Amino acid sequence: MELKELAMALAIWLGAIGPGLGIGLIGKAALEALGRNPEAAGKIQWLAILCIALAEAVAIYALVIALIIGFAL
């Protein structure tokens, strides 16, 4: 039973590191862009939200894989 729990933890941990870093970098880049060009705030915000949603989808896939490991295997 312990090996399954370790596999679940590793799946979500490794699957959440990338999106976490990506979201942080997206936020940093958006704030820098807003500082340089405040008039483009709407367009920058739209693109940042889109990119964050795509990065978050990867974390959701990792969660699904962790749940499959836990309940199906």
Instruction: Single out the residue of 58, 62, 49, 61 nearest to residue 9, CA to CA.
Output: 62
Q: How many CB atoms lie within 10 A of CB 14?
A: 12
Q: Residue 57's pLDDT is what? A: 93
Q: How many CB atoms lie within 10 A of CB 50?
A: 11
Q: What are the structural domains, with CATH classification, of the chain?
A: 2-71 (1.20.20.10)
Q: How many CB atoms lie within 10 A of CB 64?
A: 13
Q: What is the pLDDT of residues 44-68, one digit of tens each?
A: 999 999 999 999 999 999 999 999 9
User: At 43, is the pLDDT very low, low, confident or very high (cuts 50, 70, 90)?
Assistant: very high
Q: Residue 72's pLDDT is what? A: 85
Tell me the mean pLDDT in the region 1-25.
90
In 1-73, beta strands by DSSP E: none
User: At 1, is the pLDDT very low, low, confident or very high (cuts 50, 70, 90)?
Assistant: low
